[in-house]
Amino acid sequence: MRVNFTVNGRPQEADDVWEGESLLYVLRERLGLPGSKNACEQGECGSCTVRLDGVPVCACLVAAGQAEGREVVTVEGLAEYARQRACGTDACGTKSASLDEAGRRQAQGTDSQTGEGTELSPVQQAFIDAGAVQCGFCTPGLLVAADEMLERNPNPTDADIREALSGNLCRCTGYEKIMDAVRLAAARQSEGV
């Protein structure tokens, strides 16, 4: 089947989709957007969290066909999504998200030196600054979930943060630096930094 939906503000069309494919599979394997992760494919770990019409969902539990005609935001589009939210949809010039770059992904070793100068959302920057990224496999899902929480609740208590992120497993950090990162993002947001 063919599926049409919007990803990170850009219309996408996926052809020859088998009906059993998940939204996660189509994003990762057909649209060249592997940022959403595949840690469990059981809806338990949150590593594949994306926004579907604004609502955070596990992309592994959404059938690709369910996304027909809807808007999806993934970690690859998070910086642009946050930028547009911060300055209102029309006030800022549009900057193209790095979809094309991501789409050209080929097998290659990890190059630890690229990515400098990339525009980041406040929560992405806070994760780096607070040391909330270790192996980083949980990071995309946590970022989407944390960004959505800060959109709803700009001044969360610790208990609010824990509740909002309880669907996202992390095996490396013990969550302390993730708490620090979300607190930092909230503080910077309220200071308008």
Partner 1 sequence: MPANGAPTKITQGSQTKGGIGESTLRPDGTLKVTGEFAYSSDMWHEDMLWGQILRSTVAHAEIVSIDTSEALATAGVYAVMTYDDLPAEVKHYGLEIQDTPVLAHGKVRHHGEPVALVAADHPETARRAAAKIKVEYRELPVITDEASATAPGAVLVHENRTDHHAGHVPHPNIVHRQPIIRGNAAEAAERADFVVTGDYYFGMQDQAFLGPESGLAVPEEDGGVHLYIATQWLHSDLRQIAPVLGLPEDKVRMTLAGVGGAFGGREDLSMQIHACLLALRTGKPVKIVYNRFESFFGHVHRHPARLHYEHGATKDGKLTHVKCRIVLDGGAYASASPAVVGNASSLSIGPYEVDDVEIEAIALYSNNPPCGAMRGFGAVQACFAYEAQMDKLADAVGMDRVEFRQLNAMSQGTIMPTGQPVDSPAPVAELLRRVKAMPMPPERQWESSEGPDVRQLPGGLSNTTHGEGVVRGVGYAVGIKNVGFSEGFDDYSTAKVRMEVVGGEPVATVHTAMAEVGQGGVTVHAQIARTELGVAQVTIHPADTQVGSAGSTSASRQTYVTGGAVKNACELVRERVLEIGRRKFGTYHPAWATAELLLEGGKVVTDGGEVLADLVDVLEGEAVEVEEEWRHRPTEPFDLRTGQGNGHVQYSFAAHRAVVEVDTELGLVKVVELACAQDVGKALNPLSVIGQIQGGTTQGLGIAVMEEIIVDPQTAKVRNPSFTDYLLPTILDTPTIPVDVLELADEHAPYGLRGIGEAPTLSSTPAVLAAIRNATGLELPRTPVRPEHLTGKA
SS3 for 19?
coil
Distance CA 2, CA 144 (A): 27
Is residue 100 a contact point for partner 1 (CB under 8 A)? no
Q: How many CA atoms lie within 13 A of 95 on its CB side?
A: 15
The residue count for binding partner 1 (CB under 8 A) is: 75
Tell me if 10 sits within 8 A of 108, measured CB to CB.
Answer: no
For residue 39, the minimal CB distance to partner 1 (Å) is 4
Asked if 169 is part of the footprint of partner 1 (rule: CB under 8 A), the reply reads: yes
Give the x-and-dash track for 136-155 against partner 1 (CB under 8 A). Answer: xxxxx--x------------
Which of these segments, 35-43, 62-70, 83-91, 184-192, binds partner 1 (CB under 8 A)? Answer: 35-43
β-pairing verdict for 3-7 and 71-73: parallel
Instruction: Decide whether 69 or 128 has the Cβ nearer to partner 1.
Output: 128
Residue 105 touches partner 1, criterion: CB under 8 A: yes
Site for partner 1 in 45-74 (CB under 8 A): 45, 47, 74
Max CA pair span of the chain = 48
Neighbouring CB atoms inside 10 A of 6's CB total 15
What's at 192, amino acid-wise? G
Taking the complex as a whole, the smallest distance from the CB of residue 82 to partner 1 amounts, in Å, to 12
Residue 173 engages partner 1 in binding (rule: CB under 8 A): yes
